Chain A
């Protein structure tokens, strides 16, 4: 593991809260309410983000939207290149996504390969009416023709920089920072 140093903080707890509130409003506006709407978080940090967006939506609309969890490990396109085994966790989508408007939630959008894997995984679970993508940070450098419908913050980065999303539920603190390797 290459040692990293923090270069800059791009979002604090308040910034993350505001970004998620805005995303929740945008999701409701674009989908005209919560009819047929479901949220699915990509493990790992997409899950608490999806939970927070769902809580915001409940606050605004007064209705709870179904929430699912997707593990995309078995759909990765680089498994044969890895020298280790990524731990597989359960996919928990306890409802049908067929004919639903699915909002996929992840923390960072980078090459697009994770989202590609998530789309394949969703298609194996059913046939959604449509799939939209919500991310907290879009850092660019796409390798596939994929874009997000809802973005918390666009952060132009260089390839060597790393975006680290820290969330209360996983890391005990809410912040998004740019790290870079120490030479």
Chain B
């Protein structure tokens, strides 16, 4: 199959065939991660630059290791110490990176749509590593990979996404990806953290864990984005934890073999209790490993084929 995309900007516009190809390609990539020598020469001579306007540990490191394991050269630009501080625009920063020879730019930005803007500006390939509250496609792909690995399939599964849906790019990418792959997706959270018209995305909304988590195969717990909670969208952290924090009592509503995911970083004891975070249902650590495999698959699919022929405007 041809993977003809120049960029990976979101799951909203990826087809089921493309998603399946990424997940299938990630499987042999995971085998490489288990080897003593975690390196193959596939992307030798290619270069990848990460450009992060927001802090990140796992996504950025995961992309960098994925690129290195495929033998690409990597550089990372931290906005705090770059010329962005001198007022350089996103377009000019990206052009500068491109003319230094970067084949792929991986960007995280607090503004939704920033990667899309960049993709139109540069000939280099662009991967969205999270844009505002819009999409986080690689996180959703690694979530789907983990679910498929643990449950053997995606179609027909009941998946609950629990927490702050409004501010979550992870939730949006998961909704688009999982519904495309045939899963039944529910969103569960307080009404103040639920965007209006969320049902239009093909999901059911629940405001109580008792109903929302009933009989589900997977619970994807979202981080309470404390940095985005200045508007007082819930009375207190304690109340949120009591009503929506995943603990042993709430877990009982789900199927006995329920799989628990969390995109990290975890606010320990707030959105998920430590017993569940470290317990037998949790695949939180495996998600991190799978993230490297999925990003290797994406870099392979984007960068190993023929040249990019589209000329950016």
Chain A residues within CB distance 8 Å of chain B: 71, 74-75, 79-85, 87-92, 120-121, 124-126
Q: How far is the CA of A125 from the CA of B42 in the complex (A)?
A: 16
- Expressed in whole angstroms, the minimum distance between the Cβ of A98 and any Cβ of chain B is 9
Are B42 and A84 in contact, with the CB atoms below 8 A? no
Q: How far is the CA of A82 from the CA of B21 in the complex (A)?
A: 17
B228 at the interface (CB under 8 A from A): no
Are B305 and A83 in contact, with the CB atoms below 8 A? yes
Name B1-49 residues within 8 Å CB distance of A.
1-3, 21, 24-25, 27-29, 31-32, 35-37, 39-42
Q: Which residue of A is nearest B46, CB measured?
A: A80
- Expressed in whole angstroms, the minimum distance between the Cβ of A95 and any Cβ of chain B is 13
Q: Which residue of B is nearest A77, CB measured?
A: B41
Q: Which of A75, A81, A89 contacts B306 (CB 8 A)?
A: A81
Are B301 and A85 in contact, with the CB atoms below 8 A? yes
Q: Which of A87, A88, A124 contacts B35 (CB 8 A)?
A: A124
Q: Which of B1, B32, B36 contacts A85 (CB 8 A)?
A: B1
B300 at the interface (CB under 8 A from A): yes
Chain B residues within CB distance 8 Å of chain A: 1-3, 21, 24-25, 27-29, 31-32, 35-37, 39-42, 70, 300-301, 304-306
Are A125 and B28 in contact, with the CB atoms below 8 A? no
Q: How far is the CA of A87 from the CA of B304 in the complex (A)?
A: 12
Query: Assuming the A-B contacts A85-B1, A124-B35, A124-B37, are A80 and B304 also in contact, with contact meaning beta carbons closer than 8 angstroms in the complex?
Result: yes
Q: Which of A84, A85, A90 contacts B27 (CB 8 A)?
A: A90
Q: CB-CB < 8 A to A90: which residues of B?
A: 27-28, 31
- Contacts A74-B28, A124-B40, A125-B36 aside, 5 further interface pairs with beta carbons under 8 A come to A74-B40, A82-B304, A83-B2, A85-B21, A87-B24
